[in-house]
Amino acid sequence: MRIGMMLSYSGGFKETVDVLGDYEKAGLDIVFVPEAYSYDAISQLGFIAARTERLEIASGILQIYTRTPSLTAMTAAGLDYVSDGRFTLGIGTSGPQVIEGFHGVPYDAPLARTREVIDICRQVWRREKVVHDGRHYQIPLPAERGTGLGKALKLINHPVRDRVPVILAALGPKNVAMAAEIAEGWLPLFFHPGKAGEVWGQALAEGAARRDPALGPLDVVAQAPLAIGEDVEDLVDLARPQTALYIGGMGARGRNFYHNLVCRYGYEAEAAAIQDLYLAGRKEEAAAAVPSDLLRNLSLIGPASYVAERVEAYRAAGVTTLKVNPVSPDPARRLRDLERVKAMAS
């Protein structure tokens, strides 16, 4: 398994990049920069590309509604250029709360739009004249065709690669099936190794049956907080606030994908209680209501023997890139934990 790491989007970015070279030497394979409703990911990814030599870089994720498909492709080609072919395009739909509530863009047709975005991106990277007659994107616009203004264009530059790898963030069965069909990689959130086959196995199989062999095997990217030692059990609780945010507050009732996922894991009553508390503004109580066994099953925190067992559980569940978040308060220990999990995954 590759070992990846996500850089925080809410603080500490420059400090983390200052030591990223050490993580690179310790065996880190790929670093992901998310884009939520904070700083954009692109400027930070360019900064990382200039500060590293071997490390792969990835967006984790860019939301498909916030850029045109052609701009997404241009951006990916640009980052691939400045990093000498080290960039992976992570994209996803996010959710209505961010897309409509922050960007003011309608959250519609996520499946169809995603498929069209990927198709357009790959045309751009191949330096084809971009012509697309989809339901949601038309290039050139029909009204301009046949005029001098409606001439199809191709990318001026020659990309480093004619196919930048695409990782698709997906949780629902249809989205997951599409990721297995058309993307190089799949990025789920809250990946539970013991439940993955039950929840996603059928969707992955359906998508794989339609997959172009030229795409290669699907890269399954799972993330987990990491801390190794006999004295780290309390660090599991650090994930409570964010887990409660996603389960309880990342979307209205009936429109929260993370809430639905936890229900599919078998935590219907607990998820309902977390959502009720969170939406009532009782965030600390919502965090306290997150089941401890759920947190443990979503983490790599504990003695070395336990973490090694968990790494093997992820491997057995099909994970090929393990994206870790070292959470020890000691910077030196975070680095050491990454070295140790890299050895376990090798």
**Shared domain check, 145 and 210:** yes
318 with 187, same domain: the answer is yes
Q: Which residue is it, tokens 């975005």?
A: 117
Nearest C-alpha neighbor of 289 from the set 244, 226, 245, 254:
244
Report pLDDT for 110.
96
Predicted TM-score of the model (pTM)? 0.95
Q: Are residues 149 and 244 in the same domain?
A: no
- Exposure of 177 in the CB half-sphere (CA atoms within 13 A): 12
Structural domain of residue 79, as residue ranges? 2-232+299-345
Greatest Cα pair distance, the chain, in angstroms, is 70
Query: What are the φ and ψ backbone dihedral angles of 125, each rounded to 5 degrees?
Result: -65, -30
Q: In terms of domains, do 195 and 66 share one?
A: yes
Give dist(CA 80, CA 56) in Å, integer. Answer: 10
242/225 same-domain check: no
* Residue 226 sits in the same domain as residue 238: no
pLDDT at residue 146, as a whole number: 66
Position 10 scores a pLDDT of 58
Number of domains in the chain: 2
Domain CATH number, residue 23: 3.20.20.30
- Residues 159, 33 share a domain: yes
Among residues 298, 313, 337, the one where a domain terminates is 298
Q: What is the pLDDT of residues 70-90, one digit of tens each?
A: 999 999 999 999 999 999 999
**What stretch of H or E contains 227?**
strand 219-228
Instruction: Let me know how long the chain is.
Output: 346
Q: What is the pLDDT of residue 11?
A: 61
β-pair type (56-59, 30-33): parallel
pLDDT for 18:
87
Residue 57 and residue 122 in one domain: yes
Same domain? For 192 and 172 the reply is yes
91 and 177 both lie in a single domain:
yes
Which token pair is 288? Answer: 């306290």
In angstroms, rounded to a whole number, what is the distance separating the alpha carbons of residues 39 and 32? 14
Q: What residues in the chain have per-residue pLDDT under 50?
A: none
In terms of domains, do 203 and 323 share one?
A: yes
- Spatial CA neighbour of 190 closest among 147, 151, 137, 239: 239
Say yes or no: 163 and 278 in one domain: no
